[in-house]
Amino acid sequence: MKLPAPPNDHRPPGVGPRQRSSWSACLPAKQRPQPGEALVVGVLPGEGVGPEVVGAALEVLGRVADAAGLDTEIAFGGAIGREAERACGQPLSDEVLTFCEDILARGGAIVNGPGGGRYVYDLRHRLDLFLKISPLQVENGLPDASPIRPETLQGVDLLLTRENTGGAYQGVWGEGRDAAGQRRAEHRISYLEPHVQRFLDASARLACSRRGELSVVWKEAGVPSISQLWQACAERAAQAHGVRLRMVDVDLMAYRLIREPAAFDVVAAPNLFGDVLADLGAVLLGSRGLSYSGNFGERGEGVYQTNHGAAYDLAGSDRANPAAQILALAMMLRESFGRMREARAVEEALRSVWCAGGRTADVHVSGAKLVGTREMGRLVAERAASLLRPSPHAAGVPEPRGRLESNPA
């Protein structure tokens, strides 16, 4: 069986999805990388499948840096998540926090493997990484592995932004007893107007750089006071940045994200709503193993991750899909270091391997060759390096050639 080509395969050689500029330019105090300086990368391998998928991404980074002549400085941090809780009693240790602060202060970025417990919520809060961007781009996905009809996926290229520092994942919580002695769990959440406004301003600036359409997720009657605050901030942001605004209840947004995803461009959501919608949106891509994101502070400080968890049941099996971690690496090259060509080469290399038939188990289809985590990383690394070397045959990045030999049916 011949595998289908990636969508929009009529692109000129080497040209990926429509992005041609930095998404994180929407931040209020974005700092530009200095040309010629070493790329400082802090690595937190994480737990579960984290070391495997991060290892694959680092192999890609190493080959890309060699091919492009980039100077890189890689530093490794300590344990995170449940492993850190067992060692020091908290998922985010002071040592790891200091490590991250130092890397970011030096103009670097963090490659973050998955970590359990409250690790990611605490990290975003402590570093004030208020903006999360999760791309849902079918060109960097595998529509043939998705249960959604192909015609529904045509042209899907949306960005889901998520407010990280308030709402349900922050706040104050605890347990007590009522007057009758019954157990009572409490969780008090709040949003500060300046925090909502900076998030929606950034989302509106992002929308302004694209199709000029901003959809803000709320639950108008369910959480009325918070919804009213979000609506007021959204209207100010839309007016200030000249974008079209629509407010969409979260339940309707979930339905329309699957039913008509191409109708949306930038979708901005509170913390909990954004978390659920990003995971739901992975269905459009074909697997959670393809879903990734970047978390940003006001000056562009970036922590890059997959949107899936540690998958402890797959740890050590060489079965985890490294694609999301590799795509997060490409996002880091573009957003934190301004390396547009290298980022495009990584994305094109991944698509090229898919087109040649290489698939991990979660996205495997008939006619494809089943490959493991390490082999997928190696294949993408080799292809990305070849795309970055000068070609005597073409002025741009050459088209993928050949196919991987399929496993017998």
Number of neighbouring beta carbons within 10 Å of residue 401: 9
Which one of the listed residues 9, 71, 94, 251 is annotated catalytic?
Answer: 251
User: CA dist 33 to 37, 113, 207, 285, 301, Å?
Assistant: 8, 24, 23, 31, 11
Q: For residues 45 and 113, is the Cβ–Cβ distance under 8 A?
A: yes
CA distance 385 to 233: 45
Return all residues near 393 (Cβ < 8 A) that are at least 6 apart: none
Say if residues 274 and 254 touch (Cβ distance below 8 Å): no
Asked if residue 128 lies in contact with residue 297, where contact means CB atoms within 8 angstroms, the answer is: yes
The rounded distance, in Å, linking the Cα atoms of 157 and 196 is 25
Check 66, 102, 279, 318 and give the catalytic one. Answer: 279
- Let me know if 275 is a catalytic residue: yes
For helices 323-335 and 340-355, angle between their N-to-C axes, nearest 10 degrees: 160
Q: Residue 209 and residue 297: Cα distance in Å, rounded? A: 19
| 265 is known as an active-site residue | no
Two tokens at 56?
A: 């694959």
For 188, phi then psi, to 5°, come to -105, 125
Q: What one-letter code names the amino acid at 107?
A: G
The candidate with the shortest Cα–Cα distance to 35, out of 302, 252, 283, 340, is: 340
Instruction: For residue 279, indicate whether it is catalytic.
Output: yes
Q: Residue 274: beta bridge partners?
A: none
Token duo for residue 4: 């289908």
Axis-axis angle for helices 224-241, 193-208 (nearest 10): 40
Which residue among 121, 275, 292, 304 is the active-site one?
275
Residue 191 CB contacts under 8 Å (≥ 6 apart), including other chains: 163, 166, 167, 226, 229, 230, 270
Which candidate in 169, 191, 292, 304 is catalytic?
Answer: 169
| 8 Å CB contact between 132 and 101 | no
Catalytic residue among 30, 128, 219, 249: 219
Residues facing 76 on adjacent strands: 43
169 catalytic per annotation: yes
Residue 133 · residue 160 · CB < 8 Å: yes
Q: Which residues are marked as active site?
A: 169, 219, 251, 275, 279
